[in-house]
Amino acid sequence: MIGTWIRAGAVALGLAAGTAQAEESFIVVQSTTSTQNSGLLDYILPGFEAETGIDVRVVAVGTGQAIKNAMNGDGDVLLVHAKQAEEKFVAEGWGVERFDVMYNDFVLVGPRSDPAKVKGGTDIVAALTAISDTRAPFVSRGDNSGTHKAELRHWKEAGIDVADASGNWYRETGSGMGATLNVASGMDAYALTDRATWLAFGNKGKLNILVEGDPKLFNQYGVILVNPDKHPGVRVAAAQRFIDWLLSEEGQAAIASFKLDGEQLFFPNAQ
Amino acid sequence: MQDFAAEISDAMLLILQGDAELWAIVLLSLRVSLLAVLVSAVIGMPLGAALAVGRFPGRRAVIVLLNALMGLPPVVVGLLVYLMLSRSGPLGVLELLYTPTAMIIAQVVLVSPIIAALTRQVVEMLAEEYSEQLRSLGVSRLASVPVLLWDARLALITALLAGFGRAIAEVGAVIIVGGNINHVTRVMTTTIALETSKGNLALALALGVILIGIAVAVNALVSALSLRAEQEGLTHA
């Protein structure tokens, strides 16, 4: 009885707000801030939407939160960049299958003054060791995102326990890539960022790319259909069409043609 | 600063030229927040008035609680509403997450206590003033609620505006339950958050100025209307 009333009220509200939707005319994609903030999705989605009539609704959060939201069934497709976490997501039955979509790379940015003298290096672990040795300020995402997980792997390899330095020279913002870069820019600190967000970022201040080109900085993006066995509400047909398109020659070409200031930001590598 | 002035004028120009994208965002902000205030008024005003005239054990505690709820953190409300509306949540079957309706629900949770608490205060004062009259007419406490609300209507507009101010300026709750989806749930405040995270600080600030302008416009409109109502009231009296 109460349920009926809630439903009626919700429907009334929905009508009032004009949200009545036809079935499967849209899908929800849980993705990361890097794909949205760089402008990639705004660039490639209109092509898919025009072709299929399927509206792609992107919720851009950190990879950790995107995976969590997908586990709750609040999305039909997961498009993120943390391979280990993605494989775990599939292994636990939350997702159907994982496909490589594209890659770019991470870069270490830092102030022109470069107190840790890491500029021009191509070894991320050595650079982080130098930053730790000089106790130069470093700003971390601290939000369990794909970038944060990658950063923690490099610290671990350098044998540095950043938990000890937290709040000291190591600052965790607990927020998205852009917000973290704003903090780094404000306090002239080092930070690890994906190249796409960095290139599109408008508040660089005195920050520059200091370390790049280390194979360890490779950043792979994957796409997964949320498992309808776990969440029957998943819009399987439309979601599968979107995944197929992303992996198709057409989708891959769209990704490759996205450029900012003449520079390609994402490199398609679907099998 | 030069940058900022240019961005402001650019943003203003977009509004004046009727830029469809920006207008859609502005209108969605208004639609969501005005509907949230409307629903909150329907819930909050009778509740606040009943609390003002009712006498029951624990009334003081309820008032303290209600006043405290005025300070509900939007992020917490967003999280609670998300957990309710998520496909894994109790109301998941309604498929309301990431829709404007979800944003309205979250704002209703935030705004209702504000309207209820302010109504309680206004009506309680009025009830004291009218207590002799109402008693001589033999009107029971609860039956006097509609009369009191009607007579307090001008003062209650302030309660509505306070609620509207809270709703239109809030970002923490709507970004969680709305998802900041382009063309679907992107409102002024979430756009500002997004542009800030892209490092487009000047554009974000310019949008903020527009948001403040909208708030001023709504307040001015309501103030003009209530002034007219007041003057008409005087001439009819």
Residue A1 is predicted with a pLDDT of: 44
Task: Answer whether residue A186 shows pLDDT above 70.
Answer: yes
On chain B, the residues whose CB falls within 8 A of the CB of A33 are 197
Taking an 8 Å cut-off on Cβ atoms, the answer to whether A58 and B100 are in contact is no
Does residue A254 sit in the same domain as residue A204? Answer: no
Does residue A95 sit in the same domain as residue A132? Answer: no
Average pLDDT over residues B144-173: 93
Instruction: Give the C-alpha separation, B184 to B25, whole Å.
Output: 9
Instruction: Write the residue in A19, A37, A233 that is nearest to B197 by C-beta.
Output: A37
Total tally of structural domains belonging to chain A: 2
Residue A21 is predicted with a pLDDT of: 43
Band (pLDDT 50/70/90 cuts) for residue A18 is: very low
Task: Answer whether residue B116 shows pLDDT above 80.
Answer: yes
Instruction: Give the C-alpha separation, B170 to B175, whole Å.
Output: 9
Give the minimum alpha-carbon distance from B102 to chain A in angstroms, rounded to a whole number.
Answer: 9
Taking an 8 Å cut-off on Cβ atoms, the answer to whether A178 and B88 are in contact is no
What average pLDDT does chain B have? 90
Q: pLDDT tens digits, residue range A37-65?
A: 899 999 999 999 999 999 999 999 989 99
Q: Which fold has domain B25-198?
A: MetI-like fold (1.10.3720)
Other beta carbons within 10 angstroms of residue B144's beta carbon come to 23
Band (pLDDT 50/70/90 cuts) for residue A12 is: low
Is B79's Cβ below 8 Å from some Cβ in A? no
Is B31's Cβ below 8 Å from some Cβ in A? yes
Does residue A36 sit in the same domain as residue A163? Answer: no
Whether the pTM exceeds 0.90: the reply is: no
In a domain, residue A232? The reply is: yes
Taking an 8 Å cut-off on Cβ atoms, the answer to whether B101 and A10 are in contact is yes
Taking an 8 Å cut-off on Cβ atoms, the answer to whether A10 and B92 are in contact is no
In a domain, residue A39? The reply is: yes
Residue A44 is predicted with a pLDDT of: 97
Is the distance from CB of B109 to CB of B115 less than 8 angstroms?
Answer: no
Is B191's Cβ below 8 Å from some Cβ in A? no
Does residue A225 sit in the same domain as residue A207? Answer: no
Does residue A68 sit in the same domain as residue A114? Answer: no
Q: Which of A20-29, B18-27, B41-50, B153-162 has the lowest mean pLDDT?
A: A20-29
Taking an 8 Å cut-off on Cβ atoms, the answer to whether B101 and A19 are in contact is yes
Q: pLDDT tens digits, residue range B121-131?
A: 999 999 988 88
Q: Cα dist. A116→A9, A153, A190, A265, B173 in Å?
A: 60, 20, 9, 28, 40
Other beta carbons within 10 angstroms of residue A115's beta carbon come to 16
Residue A19 is predicted with a pLDDT of: 43
Residue B207 is predicted with a pLDDT of: 87
Does residue A229 sit in the same domain as residue A198? Answer: no
Band (pLDDT 50/70/90 cuts) for residue B225 is: confident
Does residue A130 sit in the same domain as residue A28? Answer: no
Does residue A136 sit in the same domain as residue A261? Answer: no
Q: What SS3 state is found at A19?
A: coil
Is A20's Cβ below 8 Å from some Cβ in B? no
On chain B, the residues whose CB falls within 8 A of the CB of A9 are none
ipTM over 0.90 threshold = no
Average pLDDT over residues B83-96: 94
Q: Output the domain CATH number for residue A61.
A: 3.40.190.10
Q: pLDDT tens digits, residue range B208-222?
A: 988 999 899 999 998
In a domain, residue A16? The reply is: no
Is A236's Cβ below 8 Å from some Cβ in B? no
Residue A24 is predicted with a pLDDT of: 67
Other beta carbons within 10 angstroms of residue B143's beta carbon come to 12
Q: Tokens 């072709």, residue? A: A51
- Domain holding A188, by residue range, is 105-217
On chain B, the residues whose CB falls within 8 A of the CB of A59 are 98, 179-181
Is A28's Cβ below 8 Å from some Cβ in B? yes
What sign results for the dihedral spanned by CA atoms A151, A153, A158, A163?
A: positive
Average pLDDT over residues A225-250: 96
Is the distance from CB of A235 to CB of B233 less than 8 angstroms?
Answer: no
Is B72's Cβ below 8 Å from some Cβ in A? no
Pick the most confident of A184-188, B36-40, B49-53: B36-40
Q: pLDDT tens digits, residue range A153-183?
A: 999 999 999 999 999 999 999 988 999 999 9
Is B24's Cβ below 8 Å from some Cβ in A? no
Does residue A228 sit in the same domain as residue A95? Answer: yes
DSSP string across B91-153:
TGGG--TTSHHHHHHHHHHHHHHHHHHHHHHHHHHHHHHHHHHHHHTT--TGGGHHHHHHHTH
Higher-scoring residue by pLDDT: A23, A33: A33
Helices (H) and strands (E) in chain A, counts: 12, 12
In a domain, residue A14? The reply is: no
Band (pLDDT 50/70/90 cuts) for residue B227 is: confident
Does residue A28 sit in the same domain as residue A96? Answer: yes
Residue A105 is predicted with a pLDDT of: 95
Domain ranges of chain B: 25-198
In a domain, residue A8? The reply is: no
